[in-house]
Chain A
């Protein structure tokens, strides 16, 4: 570093000498130089230009100017060398682990970290939150790429994890997990996060998928809370409720592709020949069903209108404008908060529907924790992750997060997720949603395919394209994608 400073300083030193020692001819240069500066500038002293052509003044000027340049150069060099990071170890033997995740600190992670830090004075964990959108994830990737000190990273989508694994940003947990059997304790749903036949991340959270029902309205219409049901039955319920509500059924617009994931749950997005499976009969059936619900029966908001008007189905459900709202455990935080979101009805829960004769979709396991490859303390990081998955998770329960690991306090968490509004829920139905059987894990297509599906569905539900065209276009795009990445 000293050598660099010296080198740059020497450069400016030579520059300075060049001017000071230069002969009279330099005057020519400087007068022109000054002229340049004065053209268009303020004419405060229009005679100044003539004055500085005197030899003495020019020397004063050049010294001032080059002196300034030297100082500027020095400061540039100093700032360039000042960014050295001091790593994770402090002098007193305390290891600091940097933990990045997408959950706001006040929704649980801070409490988890505080509890750990209290019990582990030698290994202190610092939590930083990143915003879990495209831009936020790009920042995480940039940070990983440039070697910023991150030791533990929580990924919120298998697509993002895959990008990070392909870039060798994360460690293979097989080398650290030891006795902790990821698939054994999380169950088959963990496979959503399996890459290259191994695990680079432990999913920590079971994010239950369900449909919230306005129980009071169900009773008035003489409808049972279903324990399992098909999409046909969902449409029937929606039509029954459609007379009481502006909309019998609503979903978050960004989960519209869920019906296709659901349709392909047993057969997958790609068939055995490596071709797109998007022309599967179930896809056709599901899309036709949604189309009818939107246009024929008018019991579901039309997709493009929902997007364009920024419609909030969760708020509409609470306000009694939607009879059934397809969501998941992440919405429980809002429903528990009766002060902020008062409602005058009880909520029952039905599992995610399935197609006739097909498996039911398993609950998502999410919030996958990884060890960053650049870390100096992989063992400590793993210790924290294991503790987090099994014990720390309880602090995240009030946000609807139930530990995915079977050694975790799932029962206790399931009580905490409804805390504050227990009396307004049909808790039996919630518990049976958590205990559904015959499930199969849903597959996440790559973002390119997912975005194309969303666009085609928008066109379809607008009525711009018919069903056959829509399916043909989706299949073509998917096959092109598969061809390119074969």
Chain B
């Protein structure tokens, strides 16, 4: 018994450095922001900060910008399944013998490497309401009133969704391509011997085989959709009106433009709970469709 304890001690000593690291850089800030969410900390140095109980949480209930950012964020989430689905199709396509396979792979992955700011500017040109190639094409196809894209509140979020899906698709393709190498060829061949069509093989053999990767990409994508706002910041800054403001952008503005750090922490805590809940749902839902 005694030496067992000592063994455990030694084990703990070994993981001590990383425990210290995690506590300082992860646990402490997390708990600190939880504490902050009950204070009225404002200003860079937080002079005169007091505990104000649940006031921040009450304020959130009546905060229209928060409400809008919350719903926008869920709308924005749509780009994740789109990018995962398209990424899967492109990866399956690239995995077959395709002409210029490597070059195409690089082309699809490039957007993921480019800074969101640069991407934003290119898309702003493409989405130009009257002279942009997208609307010119739509008009030549006979659409009389093409959407204003970034310049109208109704369509701005969809423009952002298209940009985001386009950007993260490259990452999804690379991950799927790696996963597809693990799908046994024999199985596919056996299926085609039995008379399965190509899409049937993809749907009933390939897709179930890579379903853990799909789950992984969905979880990562959703978590990122609640964290990254660089593209939105660069392209619309949350506008027009508040039509493209999402929660992380609102947290950033509240904290580092208005210096209402107490209130920003409150929003961040809600944000954390939302991500946690969604991830939990995905985790529970996986039993239905993920095969290991």
Binding site for B on A (CB under 8 A): 15, 18-19, 22-23, 25, 28-29, 134-135, 138, 141-142, 144-145, 163-164, 166-169, 302-305, 307-310, 446-448, 451, 454-456, 458-459, 462, 464, 480, 484
Residues from chain B with a CB closer than 8 A to the CB of A303 are: 240
Interface residues of B in 52-99 (CB under 8 A from A): 59, 62
The CA-CA distance from A145 to B128 in the complex, in Å, is 43
Residues from chain B with a CB closer than 8 A to the CB of A25 are: 3, 7
The CA-CA distance from A309 to B260 in the complex, in Å, is 32
Residues from chain B with a CB closer than 8 A to the CB of A22 are: 6
Partner of A308, one of B124, B238, B259: B124
- Interface residue SS majority, chain B: loop
Contact A307 B151 (CB under 8 A): yes
Q: Tell whether A451 pairs with B253 under 8 Å between CB atoms, given A304-B151, A308-B148, A309-B129.
A: yes
By size class, the interface of chain B is: 35 or more
Contact B127 A308 (CB under 8 A): yes
In the assembled complex, the CB of B87 is this many whole angstroms from the nearest CB of chain A, namely 26
In the assembled complex, the CB of A194 is this many whole angstroms from the nearest CB of chain B, namely 18
Q: Which of B3, B11, B241 has the most CB of A within 10 A?
A: B241
Residues from chain A with a CB closer than 8 A to the CB of B44 are: 141-142, 144-145, 163-164, 167, 169
In the assembled complex, the CB of A12 is this many whole angstroms from the nearest CB of chain B, namely 10
Q: Tell whether A307 pairs with B45 under 8 Å between CB atoms, given A447-B258, A459-B153.
A: no
Q: Apart from A167-B46, A480-B62, list 13 A-B contacts with CB within 8 A.
A: A23-B3, A29-B10, A141-B44, A163-B43, A167-B45, A302-B151, A304-B148, A305-B148, A308-B148, A308-B151, A309-B124, A451-B253, A458-B240
B242 part of interface (Cβ distance < 8 Å) = yes
The CA-CA distance from A456 to B65 in the complex, in Å, is 12
Q: Top 5 A-B pairs ranked by shortest CB distance?
A: A167-B45, A308-B151, A308-B150, A141-B44, A304-B240
Q: Which of B46, B238, B259 has the most CB of A within 10 A?
A: B259
B149 part of interface (Cβ distance < 8 Å) = yes
Residues from chain A with a CB closer than 8 A to the CB of B45 are: 145, 166-169
Residues from chain A with a CB closer than 8 A to the CB of B242 are: 455
Contact A166 B239 (CB under 8 A): no
Contact A458 B7 (CB under 8 A): no
B13 part of interface (Cβ distance < 8 Å) = yes
The CA-CA distance from A447 to B3 in the complex, in Å, is 63
Contact B43 A309 (CB under 8 A): no
B236 part of interface (Cβ distance < 8 Å) = yes
Q: Tell whether A459 pairs with B256 under 8 Å between CB atoms, given A164-B44, A166-B47, A309-B151.
A: no
The CA-CA distance from A29 to B124 in the complex, in Å, is 60
In the assembled complex, the CB of B15 is this many whole angstroms from the nearest CB of chain A, namely 12
Q: Which of A19, A164, A462 has the most CB of B within 10 A?
A: A462
In the assembled complex, the CB of B172 is this many whole angstroms from the nearest CB of chain A, namely 25
Residues from chain B with a CB closer than 8 A to the CB of A15 are: 13
Residues from chain A with a CB closer than 8 A to the CB of B238 are: 455
Residues from chain B with a CB closer than 8 A to the CB of A19 are: 10
Residues from chain A with a CB closer than 8 A to the CB of B239 are: 304, 307, 454-455, 458
In the assembled complex, the CB of B5 is this many whole angstroms from the nearest CB of chain A, namely 12
Contact B129 A308 (CB under 8 A): yes
Interface residues of B in 229-263 (CB under 8 A from A): 236-242, 253, 256-260
The CA-CA distance from A101 to B9 in the complex, in Å, is 53
Contact B259 A163 (CB under 8 A): yes
The CA-CA distance from A451 to B250 in the complex, in Å, is 12
Residues from chain B with a CB closer than 8 A to the CB of A462 are: 151-153, 240-241
The CA-CA distance from A22 to B152 in the complex, in Å, is 72
Q: Tell whether A307 pairs with B240 under 8 Å between CB atoms, given A145-B45, A163-B43, A462-B152.
A: yes
Residues from chain A with a CB closer than 8 A to the CB of B240 are: 303-304, 307-308, 458-459, 462
Contact A310 B124 (CB under 8 A): yes
Contact B129 A305 (CB under 8 A): yes
B121 part of interface (Cβ distance < 8 Å) = yes
Residues from chain B with a CB closer than 8 A to the CB of A169 are: 44-45
The CA-CA distance from A220 to B83 in the complex, in Å, is 56
Residues from chain B with a CB closer than 8 A to the CB of A455 are: 238-239, 241-242
Residues from chain B with a CB closer than 8 A to the CB of A28 are: 7
Contact B13 A308 (CB under 8 A): no
The CA-CA distance from A14 to B95 in the complex, in Å, is 56
Contact B256 A135 (CB under 8 A): yes
Partner of B43, one of A166, A454, A458: A166
Residues from chain B with a CB closer than 8 A to the CB of A144 are: 44
Residues from chain B with a CB closer than 8 A to the CB of A304 are: 148, 151-153, 239-240
Partner of B151, one of A135, A305, A446: A305
Residue of A nearest to B55 (CB): A484
Q: Tell whether A309 pairs with B257 under 8 Å between CB atoms, given A304-B151, A304-B239, A458-B241.
A: no
Interface residues of B in 147-187 (CB under 8 A from A): 148-153, 156
In the assembled complex, the CB of A313 is this many whole angstroms from the nearest CB of chain B, namely 16
Q: Tell whether A167 pairs with B151 under 8 Å between CB atoms, given A29-B7, A309-B128, A310-B121.
A: no
Interface string of B246-284 (1 = CB under 8 A from A): 000000010011111000000000000000000000000
Could you list some 19 contacts between A and B, CB below 8 A? A18-B10, A29-B7, A29-B11, A135-B256, A142-B44, A144-B44, A167-B44, A168-B45, A304-B152, A308-B129, A310-B124, A446-B258, A447-B257, A447-B258, A448-B258, A455-B242, A459-B240, A462-B151, A484-B59
Residues from chain B with a CB closer than 8 A to the CB of A448 are: 258, 260
Residues from chain B with a CB closer than 8 A to the CB of A168 are: 45, 47
The CA-CA distance from A455 to B238 in the complex, in Å, is 9
The CA-CA distance from A169 to B46 in the complex, in Å, is 12
The CA-CA distance from A305 to B242 in the complex, in Å, is 15
The CA-CA distance from A196 to B75 in the complex, in Å, is 45
In the assembled complex, the CB of A28 is this many whole angstroms from the nearest CB of chain B, namely 8
Residues from chain B with a CB closer than 8 A to the CB of A480 are: 62
In the assembled complex, the CB of A1 is this many whole angstroms from the nearest CB of chain B, namely 20
In the assembled complex, the CB of A165 is this many whole angstroms from the nearest CB of chain B, namely 9
In the assembled complex, the CB of A130 is this many whole angstroms from the nearest CB of chain B, namely 14
Residues from chain B with a CB closer than 8 A to the CB of A302 are: 151
The CA-CA distance from A462 to B257 in the complex, in Å, is 26
The CA-CA distance from A305 to B239 in the complex, in Å, is 11
Partner of A459, one of B3, B10, B241, B260: B241
The CA-CA distance from A309 to B159 in the complex, in Å, is 13
Residue of A nearest to B120 (CB): A310
Contact A167 B47 (CB under 8 A): yes
Residues from chain B with a CB closer than 8 A to the CB of A135 are: 256
Residue of A nearest to B153 (CB): A464
